[in-house]
Structure 1
Amino acid sequence: MAMEMRRIFLRKCNEKICEPDEVMYAIVMNGLSKRGHTQKPLSLLRLMEQGNTKPKTIHYNIVIDALCNDGNSDTAINFLNEMKQKGIHPVISTYNSLIDSLCKLGQWEMVKNLFSEMVNLNMYPDVRTFNILTDGLCKEGKVEDAEEVMKQMVEKGVEPNVITYNVIMDGYCLRGQLYKARRIFYILIDKGIEPTIFSYNILINGYCKKKKIDKAMQLFCEISQKGLKPDIVSYNTILQGLFEVGRIGVAKQLFVEMVSTGPVPNLSTHNTLLDGYFKYGLVEEAMSLFNKLERKTENIDIVSYNIIINGLCKNGKLDEAYAIFEKLSSVGLILNVRTYNTMITGFCLQGLLDEAKDMLRKMEGDNCLPNNVTYNVIVQGYLRCRKINEMVTFMNEMTGRGFSFDATTAKLLVKEISENTSILEMIPKLHTEKK
């Protein structure tokens, strides 16, 4: 749609059917920017300069925002400087786009410079500016700094909004500091700001990750008491948390409730159920759900198949897992490295090392390059079966590709060395090749 609009727009310009005004330019440039086109809004900006309609702040803002979304902050700053040189005044949204981009890149010195520049232009940061800054700090784990920024907001007369509090709560939850996250939640309420469903979801997720499922469930129930409705994220988070602590019966009841009164389960919901059923050996229930999903092809993807293959392998049903693996290409799905690794792991667990090796060569033939996990799984397989000569071949191949041992491989190797010291001769060689 945006491309068609641009073609019509340019044709009319070339045919001189109409002289586009600044509003027409802005509409087309914004449409292109929203669809991920960076260079096309820029080319229209240059086209404006050649005609009677000169670019204004809004047109530069669209180009700067597009460049920032593309991660091209250096060029975006050049456009800011170009604006000022031409006497076109930047506004708060101009700086917000740039600060957001620079925060994501961790370029804090440049962020500081832009803040100073804004103040010098008598343009004080608004709540969005501060929210961008707090979000950037929290994502880098600097949550105390983010909270300090929030205090400065208040001192400068800019009231934090629910987004500000949510960002800081999420920052503390990511660090596992739930008591601090909960404190921010209560400050939010004390300020008379109504928590959103997103506020609750942040805390629920934090408690689930810490396996404090009772606290998470308490918050989940509180959502309805506050006149809100749990959304798909609320349900999916709680379901995953319940399976994580082995409360399968409650998870099943919650899913039934979700189907009857909650949001429509999505692919993430079903994948959580499949993974949970397999984790606790409920293979029949997992396969029953899988068969229902498979009949509705829009409800299943390669992630779901990876879960199924992994679950079957770990529950001793290697033949069934391989049968599903074999049919994946025929249903139009592209196998990824995780799919192959899962199948290789299944073979290694059963001691079928030739099959694992064949699968490794197959994935290379299918242009799916093995990764560090692939080689660690195979080396572990050979170590467990004490096939040292074959293991050495894969060790050398592994290090030749720049991969290294994970903790499990290292532990198995140490155990084998304690019983067979001749393997030590290989270790210096491996270290040398890695340098």
Structure 2
Amino acid sequence: MAMAMGNTEPNIYIYNIVIDAHCKDGYLDAAINILNEMKQKDIPPNIVTYNSIIDGFCKLGQWEKVKTLFSEMVNLTMYPDVRTFNILTDGLCKEGKVEDAEEVMKHMVKKGVEPNIITYSAIMDGYCLRGQVDKARRIFDIMIDKGIEPNIINYNILINGYCKKKKVDDAMQLFCEISQKGSKPNVVTYNTILQGLFKVGRIGHAKKFFAEMLSAGFIPDFYTHGIVLNGYFKYGLVEEALSLFNKLDGKRENNDIELYNVVINGLCNNGKLDEARAIFEKLSLIGLLPNARTYKKMIHGFCIEGLLDEANDMLRKMEENGYLANVFTYNVLVQGFLRCRKITKMTAFMKEMTGRGFSFDATTTELLVNVLRESPSVLDMILGLHSKIMK
């Protein structure tokens, strides 16, 4: 891929820009071709050139090519800088190879390259993604011991790790430390702790924390409202959920179909199908189109109430509007037929389901086995589909 700019030959700066753009877009072969062109033209690549290409291959998980480029750099007496090492640690952590990333960090220290806050953040995040929050905390403490002040991103990573492990008290303690250490929480911090509190069922604390967030002057975002609405519905606080939703409803910034999906799902799960249907039917009036999740939640709601004809009609409407049903949707409907003992309709629907290459999940299989125990004659009705069902 020869590069030229009129009568002017591109310099190292231009080459690096083009290579970086190709790498970010995933065109690594083109980036390597340009690197080779540079060498042919006696334009020596620099650390920026190699960092871009190494980053590209790390994102693709092509570690052999990363090793080759790394060796090539060293052979050119161009030793990796902190950005090179950060690219490696981040790539390894995203693949779950956090111990390897930590070894890279130890290696860079031996070579006189000090890890920075980005290095520590990547490894902390890697451990948290694996649920090893205690190891993430160890990295956090090492960072502080090295004299690097954690920023809000570091705190948020660790708080999220604690909340996922249901260690909400540890998350709250860390939250209290933030302002003492000269940093400030942000909306992400509040969202993470709110989700953690709801996850462990501490509803009173969640309400209080949400009120504190508002009084502190933070403006809740879409995720905040989704977390709070989900939490209220999960624990049967339907009136409080609807009160919050009614305050949001109609405001342009809250016209997001996913927020309505949360409410429709919550109402269906709490036996409020009529209210859910009213909100569903209102969507077109406010200029919102249902998406696949909206239809699936309504189908699930109809099935919970045993309204299987309505559920089937919603499935057809969903597909007419360009959203194909998936294996989850079909399983929900078959489960509805099984629970209501509508075996004839279920058999016809099973034929359609298996014809699309979908199989039963564990819940559907269990329900089917229970029906067969109670009514062995049902087996004759589905015998023709037996081999497909058992796949």
CA contact 1:231–1:262 (8 Å) conserved in 2: no
2:285 corresponds to:
330
1:411 equivalent among 341, 366, 390: 366
Task: Find the counterpart in structure 2 of residue 429 from structure 1.
Answer: 387
C-alpha offsets along residues 257-313 of structure 1, whole Å, 9 cap, x if unaligned?
111214321111111111111111111111111111113121230110000000111
State the match for 1:140 in structure 2: 95
2:36 and 2:368 map into 1 onto residues whose CA distance is 59
Contact kept in structure 1, 2:191 and 2:224, CA below 8 Å: yes
Within the alignment, does 1:79 sit opposite 2:34 as a pair? yes
Number of equivalences: 388
Deviations 1:298-355 (A, max 9, x none): 1230110000000111111101101111121332223221111100000000000000
2:104 corresponds in structure 1 to 149
Moved more, 330-339 or 129-138: 330-339
TM-score by length of 1: 0.86
Q: Is the 8 A contact 2:232 2:241 kept in 1?
A: yes
**Residue number in structure 1 paired with 2:254:** 299
Question: Matched residue of 2:359: which SS?
Answer: coil
- Counterpart of 1:55 in 2: which secondary structure? coil
Is 1:165 paired with 2:120?
A: yes
| Structure 1 residue 427 displacement after superposition | 5.5
Alignment of 1:3-402 (within 5 A): 46=3, 48=5, 51-402=6-357
In the alignment, the residues of structure 2 paired with residue 271 and residue 189 of structure 1 have an alpha-carbon distance, to the nearest angstrom, of 34
State the secondary structure of the residue aligned to 2:249. helix
Gap regions ≥5 residues in structure 2: none
Percent identity of the aligned residues? 71
Corresponding residue of 1:22: none
Q: Which moved more, 1:422-431 or 1:250-259?
A: 422-431
**What amino acid is aligned across from residue 301 of structure 2 in structure 1?**
G
Distance across 2 between alignment mates of 1:103 and 1:363 = 40
Letter in 2 for 1:63: V
Distance in 1, Cα, partners of 2:343 & 2:260: 33
Runs of 4+ in 1 over 4 A off after TM superposition: none
User: Counterpart in 2 of 1:6?
Assistant: none
**8 Å Cα contact 1:135/1:167 also seen in 2:** yes
Residues 1:404 and 1:71: Cα distance change in structure 2 (over 3 Å): farther
Deviation at 1:71, TM superposition (A): 1.7
Distance 1:233 1:207 in 2: 14
Give unpaired runs (5+ residues) of structure 1. 1-41
AA matched with 2:383: E
Check the 8 A contact 2:359/2:389 in 1, yes or no.
Answer: no
How much does 1:394 deviate? 2.2
Per-residue deviation, 1:122: 1.2
1:152 Cα deviation after fit:
0.5
CA distance in 1, matches of 2:384, 2:76: 66
TM-score (normalised: structure 2): 0.95
